[in-house]
Amino acid sequence: MTTPSIPVNPSRRDFIQRAAAVTAAGSAVALPGGAWAAGSDAPEKKEVRIGFIPLTDCASVVMASVMKFDEKYGIKIIPSKESSWAAVRDKLVNGELDAAHVLYGLVYGVHLGVSGPKKDMAVLMTLNHNGQAITLSKKLADKGAVDGAGLAKVMKAEPREYTFAQTFPTGTHAMWLYYWLAANGINPMTDGKVITVPPPQMVANMRVGNMDGFCVGEPWNHRAIIDGIGVTATTTQDIWKDHPEKVLGTTAEFVQKNPNTARAMIMAILEASRWIDTGLQNKMKMAEVIAEKSYVNTSVDAINQRILGRYQNGMGKTWDDPNHMKFFNDGAVNYPYLSDGMWFLTQHRRWGLLKSDPDYLAVAKTINKTDLYKQAAAQLKINVPKSDMRSSKLVDGTVWDGTNPAKYAAGFKIRAA
């Protein structure tokens, strides 16, 4: 019996019709890059709980549900507000959450067993680039610590225990904080104390003097400026332009059991990402939605400026940043580059979280589900890059391109002993 052919970019209706024909013929349906489960693209699980932390970059997950993009792909996304990244980790590992808006480095840390319980994990897509920042207290800024060089000078002139906060030990904010401090000659392991604080608690903790600085996602950096307690010393896009940030993360087990559901989640959130980045009106609507109590729980004005690239540092300087938080950027944001995942491993090695060099590329290939992403992107006619690697120059002048990660990790002057 002849198997019906399937076009590379089928419409959903064409796909389902052809899939049904193939199933009737008793064959499995396959597309380039992977097999569809059970000869159908129907999601195995119709309702999915996706965890999120109250941050601006949870927007694509929230809007996929609010705008009902999920329903187009046969699923219902239930956004689940979580209190901390540790809670997100635990609920992913034990199955209370099906997936999550989650820190890139958290997923890799769990997979390798260096940030709590060890569990095989998966990255389905990147949710956003850019849009985090490092905030220093107003008290420090008044002494001249308005940027990295100023902070180093103040710390040298007034020796004491300086405390900095990040949001999770293997997470993105910890790595941006450490990288920036080290680029300014400050060893985060020996020259200061680093604590872990959930994102929504950063501003309150700085207000009562528990920390000198923190790295977190928006809107909490801008909130510190609005409240008059902190200043923006740097943005993370100034550390690494178009850096990877949050991802859609889940367990390897979930993907294995529910490949069609995983692909449907990618497609729904890709649509939401594209919708957000389409224009000013959509971004403003997004800001209004996620500012609500059930999501980020802050004022709209804490969100809506920086998502448009309108920055102020809390000391009178204002600027328009073209490298503000992006959710889609014509698809450039969302591809789960292997080199992005590998970079976090190099920093985990640099700072002693990993005691030896892993097989960087093999780990990234295991975690980042590039084939599944390509299938979703093809159906939505979204471009994908030709390579799984990309090259970037970071704030200290080093270039990261995914080649020789062990040498890269060992090549930093300031690193853990």
pLDDT at 211 over 70: yes
Per-residue pLDDT, 26: 31
**What confidence tens digit (pLDDT) does each residue in 379-396 have?**
999 999 999 999 999 999
Map out the domains of the chain with their CATH numbers. 47-130+243-315+326-386 (3.40.190.10), 132-239 (3.40.190.10)
Give the phi and the psi of residue 375 in degrees, each rounded to 5. -65, -45
Per-residue pLDDT, 28: 30
Question: Once rounded to an integer, what is the mean pLDDT over residues 34-60?
Answer: 84
Share of the chain above pLDDT 70, in %: 91
pLDDT at 151 over 60: yes
Rounded to whole angstroms, the maximal C-alpha distance in the chain is 82
**What confidence tens digit (pLDDT) does each residue in 332-351 have?**
999 999 999 999 999 999 99
Per-residue pLDDT, 1: 34
pTM as predicted: 0.91
**What confidence tens digit (pLDDT) does each residue in 46-55 have?**
999 999 999 9
Per-residue pLDDT, 116: 87
| Other beta carbons less than 10 A from residue 224's beta carbon | 26
Question: Once rounded to an integer, what is the mean pLDDT over residues 21-38?
Answer: 36
SS3 38: helix
Our CA dihedral for 308, 201, 96, 262, rounded to 10 degrees, sits at 20
| Other beta carbons less than 10 A from residue 108's beta carbon | 31
CA distances from 350 to 77, 96, 245, 415 (A): 37, 33, 19, 5
Beta-strand (E) ranges in 197-245? Answer: 213-217, 230-235
Question: Once rounded to an integer, what is the mean pLDDT over residues 72-83?
Answer: 98
Per-residue pLDDT, 41: 85
15 pLDDT band (50/70/90 cuts)? very low
